[in-house]
Amino acid sequence: MQSKTVKQLLTEDIVTPDVEVKGWVRTFRANRFIALNDGSTLNNIQCVVDFEHFDEATLKRITTGAAIHVKGELVESQGKGQNVEIQAQELIILGDSDPEKYPIQPKKHSFEFLRENAHLRTRTNTFSAVMRLRSALSFAIHKYFNDNGFYYMHSPIITGSDAEGAGEMFQVTSLDLKNPPKDDSGNIDYSEDFFGKETNLTVSGQLEAETYAMSLGKVYTFGPTFRAENSNTSRHLAEFWMIEPEVAFMDLAGNMDLAEDFMKSVIQYILDNNREDLEFLDKRLKDEDKTKPQAERSSMGLIEKLNFVTDNHFKRVSYTEAIDILRNSKPNKKKKFKYLIDDWGCDLQSEHERFLVEKHFKCPVILFDYPANIKAFYMRLNDDGKTVRAMDILFPGIGEIVGGAQREERLEVLKQKMAILDIPEEELWWYLDLRKYGTAVHSGFGLGFERLVMFATGMSNIRDVIPFPRTPQNAEF
Amino acid sequence: MQSKTVKQLLTEDIVTPDVEVKGWVRTFRANRFIALNDGSTLNNIQCVVDFEHFDEATLKRITTGAAIHVKGELVESQGKGQNVEIQAQELIILGDSDPEKYPIQPKKHSFEFLRENAHLRTRTNTFSAVMRLRSALSFAIHKYFNDNGFYYMHSPIITGSDAEGAGEMFQVTSLDLKNPPKDDSGNIDYSEDFFGKETNLTVSGQLEAETYAMSLGKVYTFGPTFRAENSNTSRHLAEFWMIEPEVAFMDLAGNMDLAEDFMKSVIQYILDNNREDLEFLDKRLKDEDKTKPQAERSSMGLIEKLNFVTDNHFKRVSYTEAIDILRNSKPNKKKKFKYLIDDWGCDLQSEHERFLVEKHFKCPVILFDYPANIKAFYMRLNDDGKTVRAMDILFPGIGEIVGGAQREERLEVLKQKMAILDIPEEELWWYLDLRKYGTAVHSGFGLGFERLVMFATGMSNIRDVIPFPRTPQNAEF
């Protein structure tokens, strides 16, 4: 007979009463009730053991973390909390788990402790729910773009260009660091490196995605990106995944429409498909909040926050308008903001973004037309000469989640901006080519995947939403 | 009015005759027929220009590569080759393309030339078809796993472990190469590097995927992997994408079932969804073959080869059986093989794999139970003590396309194998933990994504199936 997954047993109509299942023991109560989990769902299947019928040696090996194979009869459950359970007829121990040593005991572990055991932490309810949601969000993203005529494009990870300036880069090399080749002036001779030049890990696939948008029309990337920034915070990773759609013939208004529809669609997907995991995490967050002082508690529950995104129109507000609102806001006047809003031109902080979303507009907000000098060189300059066609989407609890722009499509304007920033044209000859041969209005945006997973799971540390986080002084596993 | 894509115009029922479309000019014949493409499909839409109604200056700017906006009436086509065409009423030039300089002229370019213009090569039929198929295959892969209860897992790209030994690795560092910190014995002091130790780019996500399989049950990775091998061939890349499913409680037979079903399913997906691109590439391959001497021509057409996979059962043959067949084969006896098969224990070459598939069995073949010493340390040792539960899937024209195994789940056996290969247990403490706490039979396989794209497109150089190939001495774009 073929084994069923726990999910199948709990949700499908099983015709025959005889079933088999394999999984890991979560708990074994009263020498009688095994809670068995195989990762297919948050829920365990209860296996009821008639202990008189099993030898004691076997029963002793049914410990938390042990892998077992259960054969028995699927019956309606007598107890509360489940519809069906298995009356165990045969128990086969596949792999023991020494209860003295197994780190994942059925008790509350700190997230710090579980990070040190990242290879086992998905055996807990919280992390299995988070990682199932991470997977579901990934699929929702691919599905959205596929359904809407986008092509998935793998932008390169190793790059010979460091022109984008989005952050500090990691170097990639095959040179012997102890004894690297040097030229006559004592500089490293990169002609002897693997690629014949200095190479780094990419910080963004956008510029390459633009090349594909300007031929295939609608494309997106979804791949790893890197920052060598020594930021040891709960919001920074050295390695993280990013989604970057890019569309030819689309202006900033179209970009906002796309981003709003996209964000609503992927969040609706998990509301439709991952209800149990979301409800578990919603409750976890509420329980955690109860232990906090009132001021630090979340203003919304997890599912409430997701519905806030799917149910509301995203309010579109210019940067200039937003500065006016913030300047005249209560927290600014009462000096409650950590960074007070004074003049037009400053960059917004998370506290300002959250004020706009949570207090002022009470809906997701898209800010647009930012000052040119706080945004990247490739964003399209407006006719006012001082703002660019940038946009940021602001969400409750988190602030900026999406950043995008209409791209500068005019060759001469782009060249001028590069010259001011000392970006050599030879570095980006291929990027300039897009403006020489059939240039057109085009736009796109970037979404940090882990920020989306944090938002969708209510986890507050970014290290807890990626399988094996890479941070300063840490590349374990 | 909203612009339509070329694909919409050619395939949807358009009610109103008035349409708008934006795209790039492929050709402009007789001052009358514009072939316009926007990447949404291989096909162009024909825009018919009544040249008496347009000023000459505009018509002169309609050159190959120019981006234009056409407004007009969608009508049944008078000419051959298309059902509908646009009677242009308005022509707006969005971006010019100087015919003296634009590299992608309407003529046959060599693939070498197009590689140097990788940012523009998707404006050709061949490369747009290849990249649309690459995207469709990616989606088919995610869809297959999602439909079958797998969770997508992002394995880390930067790794502190170099234990897998699958190939030479690139080093990742934030140290200043000109002046790296050294310890008293003159070695690089990696405690000062970003991660506090030596780190590399991953060669495989399998070991990490195993940790997730042993908690979530069924998982897969789909991400970039790297080899710092100085192989300048048409089959090697320094950066390529890999798919690695891993399943708990699944043995080698289940692994074969999964791999066969998976490969058939993703190929069926493109046969169902990408017919035009496949037919174009099928014809391209046939045309190319005509220019070759008989002996070098493909034995099968492209679509024929894809059907060969979907329509045939994959024959399962042990390595030992295969060696017998090969040893007694005509090409071996007549010394036609470059590498003659003599003794049990040797690794097979592409010529042997192709003989088994194309000449002997005439179907895809799964070889299994390979000699332990030509396979990786983590593969499960058979009771004979000399073979392991490995499997390779062999396809026509290409040889090995999938490699997988049942993993060694026994702690003591795994430790012995690691000791023989001098892999320190401290390196892989977390991998060994999986065998300490609830170990179980589990299996998985790896598929090099670019090899699949080559197979599915008929392209013979791996540099032509990835947007921006990374190879020795080349990291342009």
Q: A178 touching B, CB under 8 A?
A: yes
* A12 located within any domain: yes
The whole-angstrom distance between A153's CA and the closest CA on chain B is: 7
Same domain, A128 and A36: no
What confidence tier does B163 reach under pLDDT thresholds 50, 70, 90? low
B56: domain CATH number? 2.40.50.140
Are residues A132 and B5, on separate chains, in Cβ contact within 8 Å?
Answer: no
Following DSSP, what letter does each residue of B13-52 receive, concatenated?
A: ---SSEEEEEEEEEEEETTTEEEEE-SSSSSPEEEE--GG
Give the pLDDT of residue B190: 96
Q: A17 touching B, CB under 8 A?
A: no
The whole-angstrom separation of Cα A431 and Cα A428 is 5
Give the pLDDT of residue B42: 97
For the beta carbon of residue A403, count every other beta carbon within 10 angstroms.
Answer: 18
Give the pLDDT of residue B101: 97
Pair B186, B147: CB distance under 8 Å: no
Same domain, A148 and A239: yes
Same domain, B302 and B380: yes
Question: What's the whole-number mean pLDDT along residues A274-294?
Answer: 96
Please enumerate in sequence order all residues whose Cβ is within 8 A of that of B24, keeping only pairs 6 or more positions apart, or say none: A215, A438, B36, B37, B38, B65, B66, B67, B68, B97, B123
Pair B208, A467: CB distance under 8 Å: yes
Pair B316, B257: CB distance under 8 Å: no
Same domain, B343 and B380: yes
Q: A472 touching B, CB under 8 A?
A: yes
Are residues A158 and B470, on separate chains, in Cβ contact within 8 Å?
Answer: yes
* A475 located within any domain: no
Name the residue facing A138 among B152, B156, B175 (closest C-beta).
B152
Name the residue facing A239 among B132, B156, B466 (closest C-beta).
B156
Residue from B172, B407, B411, B428 whose CB has the most chain A CBs within 10 Å, to mutate: B172
Give the pLDDT of residue B274: 98
Inform me whether the pLDDT recorded for B166 exceeds 70. Answer: no
* A55 located within any domain: yes
pLDDT digits (tens, 9 = 90+) for B288-321: 999 999 888 888 999 999 999 999 999 999 999 9
Chain B, 296-315: which have a CB under 8 Å from a chain A CB?
A: none
The whole-angstrom separation of Cα A15 and Cα A19 is 10
Pair B352, B332: CB distance under 8 Å: no
Q: B239 touching A, CB under 8 A?
A: yes
* B1 located within any domain: no
Inform me whether the pLDDT recorded for A368 exceeds 80. Answer: yes
Give the pLDDT of residue B127: 98
Same domain, A180 and A278: no
Q: A254 touching B, CB under 8 A?
A: no
Same domain, B66 and B188: no
* A114 located within any domain: no
pLDDT digits (tens, 9 = 90+) for B87-144: 999 999 999 999 999 999 988 999 999 999 999 999 999 999 999 999 999 999 999 9
Which residue range(s) make up the domain with B62? 6-102
Are residues A131 and B153, on separate chains, in Cβ contact within 8 Å?
Answer: yes
* A36 located within any domain: yes
Which chain A residues contact residue B94 at CB under 8 A?
249, 438-441
Q: A251 touching B, CB under 8 A?
A: no
Lowest mean per-residue pLDDT among A1-15, B49-63, B332-346:
A1-15
Inform me whether the pLDDT recorded for A306 exceeds 90. Answer: yes
Which chain A residues contact residue B152 at CB under 8 A?
134-135, 138-139
Q: B133 touching A, CB under 8 A?
A: no
Count: domains in chain B:
3
Residue from A131, A135, A443, A452 whose CB has the most chain B CBs within 10 Å, to mutate: A135
Give the pLDDT of residue B167: 75
The whole-angstrom distance between B412's CA and the closest CA on chain A is: 13
Are residues B440 and A95, on separate chains, in Cβ contact within 8 Å?
Answer: yes
Same domain, B323 and B457: yes
Same domain, B225 and B198: no
Model-level pTM? 0.98
Inform me whether the pLDDT recorded for A84 exceeds 70. Answer: yes
Q: Any idea which residue has 């009821």 for tokens? A: A48
Parallel, antiparallel or unpaired: strands B158-159 and B151-152? unpaired
Which chain A residues contact residue B231 at CB under 8 A?
none
Give the pLDDT of residue B229: 94
Helices (runs of H) and strands (runs of E) counted in chain B:
14, 16
Same domain, B25 and B129: no
Q: A258 touching B, CB under 8 A?
A: no
Inform me whether the pLDDT recorded for A166 exceeds 70. Answer: no
Parallel, antiparallel or unpaired: strands B199-201 and B171-173? antiparallel
Q: B253 touching A, CB under 8 A?
A: no
Q: Which residues of A425-460 are buried (b: 16+ CB within 10 A; e: fewer)?
A: eeebebbbbbbbbbbbbbbbbbbbbbbbbbbbbbbb
pLDDT digits (tens, 9 = 90+) for A135-156: 999 999 999 999 999 999 999 9
* B109 located within any domain: no
For chain B, what is the mean pLDDT? 96
Are residues B119 and A430, on separate chains, in Cβ contact within 8 Å?
Answer: yes
Give the pLDDT of residue A395: 97
The whole-angstrom distance between A201's CA and the closest CA on chain B is: 8
What confidence tier does B78 reach under pLDDT thresholds 50, 70, 90? confident
Same domain, A182 and A280: no
Inform me whether the pLDDT recorded for B16 exceeds 90. Answer: no
Which chain A residues contact residue B473 at CB under 8 A?
194-196
Give the pLDDT of residue A118: 97
Pair B318, B369: CB distance under 8 Å: yes
The whole-angstrom distance between A214's CA and the closest CA on chain B is: 8
Give the pLDDT of residue B15: 81
Inform me whether the pLDDT recorded for B228 exceeds 80. Answer: yes
Strand-pairing partners, residue B35, are: B27, B46
A415: domain CATH number? 3.30.930.10
| Domain stops at, among B102, B133, B148 | B102
Q: A25 touching B, CB under 8 A?
A: yes
User: A63 to chain B: nearest residue by CA?
Assistant: B438
User: What ipTM did this prediction achieve?
Assistant: 0.97
Give the pLDDT of residue B249: 98
Are residues B238 and A158, on separate chains, in Cβ contact within 8 Å?
Answer: yes
Which chain A residues contact residue B246 at CB under 8 A?
none
Inform me whether the pLDDT recorded for A164 exceeds 70. Answer: no
Which of helix, strand or coil describes residue B315?
A: strand
The whole-angstrom distance between B293's CA and the closest CA on chain A is: 35
Are residues B22 and A98, on separate chains, in Cβ contact within 8 Å?
Answer: no
* B235 located within any domain: yes
Name the residue facing A39 among B98, B217, B430 (closest C-beta).
B217
* C-alpha dist (Å) from residue B233 to B165, B183, B237, B462, B477: 21, 40, 8, 9, 20
For chain A, what is the mean pLDDT? 96
Give the pLDDT of residue B208: 97
Same domain, A94 and A71: yes
Q: A427 touching B, CB under 8 A?
A: no
The amino acid that residue B50 corresponds to is: D
Name the residue facing B67 among A194, A439, A474 (closest C-beta).
A439
Name the residue facing B438 among A24, A187, A215 (closest C-beta).
A24
Same domain, A223 and A208: yes
Inform me whether the pLDDT recorded for A49 exceeds 80. Answer: yes
